[in-house]
Structure 1
């Protein structure tokens, strides 16, 4: 039985949705910090700030955790990175930790930042190491939110997390460098990962979560096709390996099933219709486990 730390705050909604779709629903009330998952492989669950989770997983308070790669690096936690997840605090895909200054500053590259500039950030360790590598002395101020609002009145430079840079630009800032890219990661305690029983349970939970992620981007198509149109239709039909084909009883038709990319299905269906497909059904998929 394993213990899990799940993230509170910006990663919370997407993480809980992922577990729910994997049939690992986290059951709790609004003020319940000790939720439950009805699965015999999972014991204690805690909802914690993602900043704390890597440290707690490293120390063995939890076998498994979900946090941002940025916080694994910021805390310097010695954990096993089990898998990357396909979302961040702003949605699907990666986010970036960037360096920005006010748009009126005559600085276009981090190497030209003035020595002893005031830098505000939620990532003091990553920022300190970054400027040390550049051999630029700076004054670091730990930010507890709204970092972009502090430049230029209180601070000269901000190091912040962004996906597109839109919020920074709206606040009159320009990006002049990047420290790292980040995304959500599944992390494990090293001793737990080395334990065969716990590692098996961790791998099984990971399989269920990734089954959901894989399924989110695909749909099942099923259709009936007259025999004379079969070859033309099969030539136009994508599949994970090969489509499933079965003969319909008593008539000169076949039933075909295949899995296709969800973002391509609206253009695919009219082509299949032109190739002779009939009775086309598009069916959502809850999990795909390769």
Structure 2
């Protein structure tokens, strides 16, 4: 039973998609050549490189069993798919924007006589309908920011992560249409017929996500200092404590901690009596 996973062939989410598969144990054998297809280190799992905007339709139609793409593209295509998990990267917003010097400062300033340009005409049309508006929508495939300044439109809808590009192009955000991020998706038929392998892939990827910015901290502690160490030790489920075979009454303590806790915690643990402190990365948490 084979599984095909579609990932973006280029763009800002391509490399993070490959990286997360690598960390999940599904390294690509043909990644250096970036062909249309690549085998992975699992004999029953192959990867298809495709345009991110095509992936929702490929998954829905069963061309592939799984895919990695943005929620914005999924919703724009109105794809009937199953979201397996959020991949926690590629956060962006689809926003409504107008020129800085225009009198359009909110959705209430918009009239049906205006024109709006977008790479996301379906999401834009749905948004306008919800607001009781019926503007002309001009579909563009790039350089949306320029549309109001060359007479193409009065407004735009566009993706932004920080808003910097919009500000550089003298545009102001007047509303947020959609919060988007990158999703792992499948279609209903594949999930019903290949559930075991799809669930295994999803579990491995979730394990990578759960391990992100986590560290395993290990140390030796004299029994008499254990209570003091436990007081300063954060952990997912409480520290693991085991006996150390030595001449002293010593125990080994280990716990999973957040990366941003390491600096302060190591010093607190040392002051509480811990020694031989090790901090190591974690690949996955299942």
Q: 2:69 aligns with which of 53, 67, 70?
A: 67
**Residue in structure 1 matched with residue 99 of structure 2 by the alignment:** 102
Contact kept in structure 1, 2:93 and 2:159, CA below 8 Å: yes
- In the alignment, is the contact (CA less than 8 A) between 1:111 and 1:134 conserved in 2? no
Aligned mate of 1:157, from 155, 158, 166:
155
* Residue 216 (structure 1) aligned with residue 251 (structure 2): no
Q: What is the distance in 2 between the residues matched to 1:175 and 1:14?
A: 28
Q: Deviation at 1:101?
A: 0.4
Distance 2:127 2:212 in 1: 37
Residue 181 of structure 1: SS of its match in structure 2? Answer: strand
Select which of 276, 280, 290 maps to 2:277. Answer: 280
2:173 counterpart residue number: 175
- Correspondence for 2:185: 187
Specify whether residues 229 and 31 from structure 1 end up closer, same or farther in structure 2 by C-alpha distance, changes over 3 A only. Answer: closer
TM-score of the superposition, structure 2-length normalised?
Answer: 0.94
Aligned mates of 2:171, 2:186 — CA distance in 1? 37
Normalising by structure 1, report the TM-score.
Answer: 0.92
- 1:34 and 1:107 mapped to 2: Cα distance? 47
Deviation at 1:258, TM superposition (A): 0.9
Aligned match of 2:38: 35
Task: Compute the displacement of 1:118 (Å).
Answer: 2.4
Structure 1: 5+ residue stretches without partners: 89-93
Deviation at 1:125, TM superposition (A): 0.6
Alpha-carbon displacement from aligned partner over 1:88-127 (angstroms, at most 9, x marks no partner): 1xxxxx3211000011111211231232322221101111
Higher deviation after alignment, 17-26 or 126-135: 126-135
Partner of 1:58: 60
Do residues 231 (structure 1) and 188 (structure 2) align? no
1:260 equivalenced with 2:263 (yes/no): no
Task: List gaps (5 residues or longer) in structure 2.
Answer: none
Q: Provide the C-alpha distance between the structure 1 equivalents of 2:274 and 2:148, rounded to a whole number of angstroms.
A: 60
Asked if 1 retains the 8 angstrom alpha-carbon contact of 2:214 and 2:257, the reply is yes
Q: Does 1:82 align with 2:80?
A: no
Once the two structures are TM-superposed, the CA of residue 162 in structure 1 deviates from its matched residue by: 1.1
**In the comparison of the two structures, how many residue pairs are matched?**
281
Q: Which residue of 1 aligns with 2:14?
A: 12
Q: Residues 174-229 of structure 1, C-alpha deviation per residue, up to 9 Å, x if partnerless?
A: 0001111111111111111122xx11111100111111111112100011112221
Q: Is the 8 A contact 1:96 1:179 kept in 2?
A: yes
- TM-aligned CA deviation for residue 149 of structure 1: 2.7
Matched, 1:199 2:195: yes
Name the SS for the 2:217 alignment partner. strand
Large movers: runs of 4+ above 6 Å: none
Does 261-270 or 145-154 show the bigger shift? 145-154
Contact 1:41 1:201 in 2 (8 A): no
Query: How far apart, CA to CA, are the structure 1 residues paired with 2:221 and 2:125?
Result: 64
